[in-house]
Amino acid sequence: MESTIYSTEGLKNLFVSVLDTLTPKEQEVIIRRVGLNGQKETLQNIWDSFSITRERVRQIEDTWIKKIGRVIKTTDLIMIQNTAKEVLDLHGWLLTKDKLLNALVRELNLPKNVDWNIISIVLQSDYEIKKAKPKLWVKTYFYLPQISPKKINLVHKEMTKILKKKKDVVDVHILFELTKIALRDKYEDLTLPFIDSIVDIHEDLVKWEEVLVGLEKWKILNPKTLKDKAVYVLKKEKLPMHFVDISNKITEYLWDVVKTNTVHNELIRNEDFVLVWRGIYVLKEWGFKPGTVIDVIVEIMKKAGKPMTTDEITTKVLKVRNVKKTTIYMNLQNKDYVQRVWRNFYELKK
């Protein structure tokens, strides 16, 4: 879509012409609130200078917004409102202020230094576009009448509940399906774009690698210690890694130059990591057990409580250890721990 508002100055002049429909006091309030004279002022400043209550300043704001909303419909500024509603519709009917304004700049070919305060006021003057009230841990956002703050809050609460139960990052598609199932009796119209926007507006939710969602307080999403950074890399790569590779990936992903020996020492001393082969580590939470191969074999056979074949033992060991099959077979010959009861069957030595 081509824009007929060609410059920042053109947009400002068009907006000022709309303000001519207001009373002098209303004009002054909006000019100072938007910052058309160079500096955006707070309600407190305007309240003090006019010697009127803060609530009265808000009332004046509400009055002129309704007034200019009707006038804007007859100007090129309506393009901003119409395009905003199209963008909001594509994103589940809500979007953070920053993302919406950036989308408008892109879609309407507006200058990058356009006055965002003017754009924001133009949006608020549309009866169909709502601006959310300020709330702790929630970014400023705009939304359409198809949804309500109550629905947004309920969906956010359910998503947080799911993440706390999982105790790990969740793919946004899976989170969407779980939320949809949990709230199917209340809301049948939940969409993936809506869920995605819910994540964006709430600061206690964080996207990881653009597809995974977790809680902001989790260290995996904001790694600071060396241990957290190693966990971050292993979870991202999802496979056993040599400590040298872990060190290199920490530098690549997190822009933190670390010494290989320091990383190795951290992996050795921390119980959250398991050495599965020469210099190769995994996360303990993946089901890998610390100890030598014979230690793993003994634990497996204890749980079985009966003789096991070589193949059965090998399969279970390989699930928690990255070793050669010949290494497993050699450990089965350790007569201090294991004894063969008949051909190809082994049990713990009594």
Are 186 and 163 contacting, i.e. CB atoms less than 8 angstroms apart? no
- pLDDT for residue 241: 92
| Second-level CATH architecture of 223-286 | Orthogonal Bundle (1.10)
- pLDDT for residue 2: 45
Query: What value, to the nearest 5°, has the Cα angle with vertex 228 and ends 225 and 234?
Result: 145
The CATH code that applies to domain 8-143 is: 1.10.10.10
- pLDDT for residue 1: 43
**Which regions in the chain score pLDDT beneath 50?**
1-4
- pLDDT for residue 219: 76
Residue with tokens 């929630």: 138
- In whole angstroms, what is the distance from residue 75 CA to residue 21 CA? 13
- pLDDT for residue 344: 85
Are 111 and 36 contacting, i.e. CB atoms less than 8 angstroms apart? no
Domain 293-348 listed as CATH 3.40.50.620? no
Residue with tokens 């950074």: 229
In one-letter notation, the amino acid at residue 181 is I
> Where does CATH 1.10.10.10 sit in the chain?
8-143, 293-348
Three-state SS string over 16-29 comes to HHHHCCCCHHHHHH
- Quick one: 192 exposed, middle or buried, by C-beta within 10 A (0-12, 13-18, 19+)? middle
| Second-level CATH architecture of 152-219 | Orthogonal Bundle (1.10)
- In whole angstroms, what is the distance from residue 48 CA to residue 183 CA? 48
- In whole angstroms, what is the distance from residue 20 CA to residue 24 CA? 9
